[in-house]
């Protein structure tokens, strides 16, 4: 008794697949770049935004908290703006 072959069929990537892959990687790299820039400048931004009497660890914690709040608010803004884009957008 033989079982049917269950090997998946493979196809080669075409130009559109490569374009999608490159653009996806570029988008991910740009988003990661945003994180890296903030991490490098968190000390400078913390000293500019907060009073000088606060310990450095608390300045960094507050600066990362501000970044986290903005990062978590991003999807909510997308939902709200998507609603207005759908209702008031191009007709």
Looking at residue 73, its pLDDT comes to 86
Q: How far apart are CA 24 and CA 30, in angstroms?
A: 10
Looking at residue 91, its pLDDT comes to 64
pTM to 2 decimal places:
0.56
Q: How far apart are CA 63 and CA 61, in angstroms?
A: 5
How do residues 18-77 score in pLDDT, each as one tens digit? 999 999 999 888 888 878 888 888 888 888 888 889 898 998 898 889 888 888 888 888
Q: Which residue do the tokens 């000390």 mark?
A: 43
Q: Which residue do the tokens 């935004």 mark?
A: 49
Residue 60 CB neighbours (<10 A): 17
């Amino acid at each position: 008794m033989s079982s049917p072959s269950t090997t998946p069929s493979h196809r080669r990537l075409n130009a559109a697949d490569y374009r999608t892959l490159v653009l996806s990687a570029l988008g991910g790299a740009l988003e990661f770049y945003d994180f890296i820039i903030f991490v490098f400048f968190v000390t400078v931004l913390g000293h500019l935004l907060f009073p000088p009497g606060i310990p450095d660890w608390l300045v960094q914690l507050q600066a990362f908290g501000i970044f986290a709040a903005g990062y978590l608010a991003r999807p909510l803004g997308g939902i709200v703006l998507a609603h207005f884009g759908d209702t008031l957008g191009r007709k």
